[in-house]
Structure formats: structure tokens, C-alpha cells
Amino acid sequence: MNSKQAVNEVLKFGSPAYIPIGTYAIDCDIVEKIIGHKTYVRNKVETWFALNSGRRDEVAQSLKEDSVELFRKLPNIDVIIPFKEAALLPPAGEIVSKKEKLNDTTWRDESGIIYKISRETNDVCVSYPEREYTADDFSGRAFSLPDESVFEAYDHFINAFRDDRFLLGLSGGFEVMPMPGGMENGLAMYLTEPEMIQACVQQHTARGNFMDRFYIRDGADQVFVETDPATTRAPLISPELYRRLCLPAMKERVAHIKKFRDRVFLHSCGNTWDLIGMFIEAGIDCNQSLQTGAGMDLGLLKQRFGKRIAFWGGVPVEDLIGGTPDDVRNDVRDAFKKAAGDGGFILGPSHSVAYGTKYDNFMAMLDEHDKLKNRI
């Protein structure tokens, strides 16, 4: 049984020959340890500088070569999300907008967008200028076609692994809970201007439906979408408000995506206990990112939701970063004990293999999975 067959059995709550393992994303420090040289793969800060100095083709070549090299050296990883390591690129030949340096870590572009660089976390935080919104801002339905060159690295990766790994591809977009003007302003609008939010959601939904035919690429087995509607403590808005303003869009988007593929995987962080029933109602087939620090215990999830949805996770990213190899091995064993014998389970980190993950811990996860995967 190969990766594709094993994951398909999982999704049918069948009996795969082994429990598959998948990664949401592997950040550059672990990537560089594995491939043995510097890379732009998941290297957010260096990629930002390179793209803004006109070195788009250099970045593209690195993403194409290094993402493939990475997973050639990780042959036991069954489930891959190609657009994480082989990310979409700016269009070839696009003119780079000028950015004013405000200090050693902060830049501003001509439209007032602020970019703050953190080398400690390898991240680029983006802040948008404050503005007032009107219904007219969300009334347009004329959407630009994507330039095919943005898929250069992504398509290259899919072609390299389409025959032997289970690949989760892009959709046309999944903004079912948008935050106009940023989180603080957007959350306030859910309470004070729900009609505006509804118009915004409808515009994003129309755009996603239009774009699916361009972004759901040949060679991707199924589709992976993302939304983060919760903190580690609770949903960002009440379940009642989520049902009214967000669930209809989620249902519509999932139904439209399933015109192209028959399974949709969802990444959703935080404490989503009160939302998973709605994810199932919308047609989501597998829930990834079981954030144990937010109370998302794999055993309890399996007890409550049974065979209504598959789960992907089990290894806390906190242990990958701050724990020991023994901690990680115990996490893998615990996940197998709770979920391996009941179908509908893929092992993986609770989020990404995040920046700061210890190499020995990552390797311990892979090794312990390899020891246990056939003992169902």
C-alpha cells in the first residue's frame, strides 16, 4: 500500500496497511539541516528581502530545487501540502514596489503598508493603514485572472511527487471569516456592522468560486483550505454568530471545491470544540492542527466526533520546539494509542514544523512513527 492508498483508506475510515504521517509545513531551519545548504524554502525573511531586491528568479529556482530535494530525503512522509514549501511566487517580470526603510526592522511601501521583520522568529508581520469601509468596497465581482508564472514552483513540485505522495493542493481562496482592516477592526465589525461583514464574506466567496478552476491544479489529490476562527481559549466570535455569518460561506465554498475534488482538508488552529460540528456540517473531511495547548485532545476528539471527520495531528509543536526526543516519542505513542486503531487518523505535528524546532526532535517523531505505523 502506497501513500495515496493509505490516506484514501483513512478518509474512508477503512483499515490502511499503516498509519500515514503528514506535515503541514517545515520551516527553513529544519529544511537546511536536512538538505545541507541555505534555502529560500519557508525562509520568510530572506525571501522577502530577495523578492524586494528583484531576485524573483533566484527565489523560484531555490523553491523548485530545494523543496523537491527536501522530500526526496524524507521518503516516509505521506501527506504533503506543496504550496507550503513550494510557495506561490510573484508574477515573472512584475515591477517591485519601492519600500521606505523606517528603521532596521521596519519598512513602508507607497500605499502605507508596514512590513516589520523579525529574524528571531523568521517572520514578516504586515500592518495595513486604518480606513473606513462602506458596502461599495465589497460590491465588485470583476476578478483578475492569475498569471500562470505564480505557479512555477508549485507545479514543479506537484509534477515531481504526483505519482507517489498524497498531495493537498490549493483552492481559489477560503476567506469564510474575513477581518476587514485587521483583526481588531474586523472583529468589531462582526458585532457592529454584520451587514458589512456579510457583504465582505459574499465577495470573498464569489472570488473563491471563480478562482477554483485556476488554482485547483492537475496532479493535486485533494484540496487543503485554512481558516483560524479561534484563540487557544475559545472561538473569536460566538458560535451563533459564526453559524449566521460564516457557515453559509463555508458550505458554499466546500461544495464548489468538491466540483473539482471530492475531499477537503481544513487547517484550523485554537480551541474549536464549538465549531467542529459546523465544519462537519459544511462538508470538511479532515481537520488538521489539533492544538493540544488549546485543549484539542486527540482521544476526546475521537470520542466525540467518531467517524464523522478524520483528524490529522497528535504531536504538539511545543514539544518539537521545547521538549526532548523522548517527549516527542511519547507523544507519538500516545497518539497511536488514542487514534490508530479506530480509522480516520493521520499522524503529524499539531501545527507546522515551526521555526525553532529541534532537529533531533523532528527526527524522533519520524523514527517513532516508522516503528509504530504498521502496528494498528
Over its length of 376 residues, how does the chain's per-residue pLDDT go in tens digits? 899 999 999 999 998 999 999 999 999 999 999 999 999 999 999 999 999 999 999 999 999 999 999 999 999 999 999 999 999 999 999 999 899 999 999 999 999 999 999 999 999 999 988 888 888 899 877 899 999 999 999 999 999 999 999 999 999 999 999 999 888 889 999 999 999 999 999 999 999 999 999 999 999 999 999 999 999 999 999 999 999 999 999 999 999 999 999 999 999 999 999 999 999 999 999 999 999 889 999 999 999 999 999 999 999 999 999 999 999 999 999 999 999 988 899 999 999 999 999 999 999 999 999 999 987 6
**Residues contacting 3, CB < 8 A, separation 6+:** 20, 78, 79, 164, 165, 166
Name the DSSP letter for residue 341.
Answer: G
Q: H or E segment at 80?
A: strand 79-80
C-alpha cell at 226: 485554512
10 Å CB burial of residue 191 (0-12, 13-18, 19+) is exposed
Cα dihedral 131/137/143/148 (nearest 10): 10
- What was the pLDDT predicted at 376? 66
Burial environment of residue 145 by CB neighbours within 10 A (0 to 12, 13 to 18, 19 or more): exposed
**Topology classification of domain 3-94+144-372:** TIM Barrel (3.20.20)
Tell me: the pLDDT tens digits for 85-104? 999 999 999 999 899 999 99
pLDDT of residue 194: 95
d(CA 295, CA 287): 15
Question: CA-CA distance, 188 to 164, in Å (whole number)?
Answer: 46
- To 5 degrees, how large is the angle CA 82–CA 83–CA 89? 135
Looking up cell 523578492 gives: 51
Grid cell 465589497 is found at 138
Q: Grid coordinates representing 266?
A: 481544513
**Runs of H (alpha helix) within the chain:** 3-11, 28-35, 44-52, 56-72, 82-85, 152-161, 183-192, 194-215, 239-245, 247-257, 276-282, 298-305, 317-322, 325-339, 359-372
Give the whole-angstrom CA distance, residue 31 versus residue 65.
12
At a CB cut-off of 8 Å and minimum separation 6, what does 137 contact?
Answer: 180, 200
